[in-house]
Each structure stands twice: as C-alpha cells, then as structure tokens.
Amino acid sequence: MYRNDYVHMNIEEHNHLSLLGNKTEYKQEYAPEVLETFTNKHPENDYWVRFRCPEFTALCPITGQPDFATISIDYIPDVRMVESKSLKLYLFSFRNHGAFHEDCVNIIRNDLIRLMDPKYIEITGIFTPRGGISIHPYCNYGKPGTEYEALAKKRLFSRYMQSEFQDK
C-alpha cells in the first residue's frame, strides 16, 4: 500500500471528527456536546491513555471566584477513545461553569463514561489552594462485571491510603 492510499484511508475513517483541523471555537458555557470519539484500533489490548490539563478553570458556585487546577484523566479504552482537541474544548467549557471541585471531577468522569464506555477511568483534580486549603478530589470507574470493576475499588482505596501518608 502506498503512503497516499494510507493517508486517504485514514482521512475517510475519521471524517466524523468535526473539530480536528478546523478553526477552534471556544464555548462559553459547559458543553459536553463538543466531545468526539474515534475507534480504538487495539481494543483487545489493555493500555493506559493519560491526559493532563494544567490550566483547568471553573467557578465557585457560591462566590463566583475562579478555581484553578490540574486535571488528570487516565483511562483504559475499550472500543471508543476521546479525541484530544474535543477534550481540550470540553475542559475549557468549565471556565464559566459554577461547580465545586468534587463536582467537577465527577461530571468529567460521568461525561467520559457516557461518551466512550471505557474499561476503566480515573479523574484527579489538583486544585490550587484558596483560603489556605487545597482540595484534591479523585474518582474512578471500572466497567461493571469485569476485572476493571475490582481494579476501580482497589485503586480507590489504595489511592486514599497513599494520600493520607503523603499529606502528613
């Protein structure tokens, strides 16, 4: 197969991706509809995909003050994977959204589960201190009835124990 044939085949396969390669339009309100996926070419393999968003911003729902965080998204894909530009725009859409730190990580987790139905996913928010206190919420999910469900429980409780010792 010639390179041009391969490139053409890849373009055809990803025609449904509307954001990649086009002018970026940033939503001013929470916008889960911007999320897009593509097919995982290796669903038979277990492997991690990691995203870091060091410039995440949301608003405190009470005071309207901005909260800043690094959001980490780690997942083991199944059939669908999240397209990174759409994820960037989705995370940007929280900029004017009022939500507590814990709510942000759970909203992100739930939206990505609905979008991709991953084998496993975990979201961590490392929020910068405000008022002398920092909050680092963590949530995860493993596909029910699979080994990933047990992994989620194990990682949730081991994560809690690790953070207890690290915070001292």
For the stretch 76-129, pLDDT in tens is: 999 999 999 999 999 999 999 999 999 999 999 999 999 999 999 999 999 999
60-64, 103-107, 149-153, 162-166: which range is least confident on average?
162-166
Using the structure block, give the residue that is written with the tokens 């911007």.
34
- 44 CB-contact burial (10 Å; exposed 0-12 / middle 13-18 / buried 19+): exposed
3-class SS at 138? strand
pTM: 0.83
Q: Spell out the residues 6+ positions from residue 128 whose beta carbon is closer than 8 angstroms to its own.
A: 67, 68, 69, 134
Which residues are marked as active site? 60, 67
For 4-55, what is each residue's pLDDT tens digit? 544 444 555 655 666 666 777 777 889 999 999 999 999 999 999 999 999 9
- What fold characterizes domain 34-166? GTP Cyclohydrolase I, domain 2 (3.30.1130)
Query: Taking a C-beta distance cutoff of 8 angstroms, is the pair 19, 31 a contact?
Result: no
Give the amino acid at 81: M
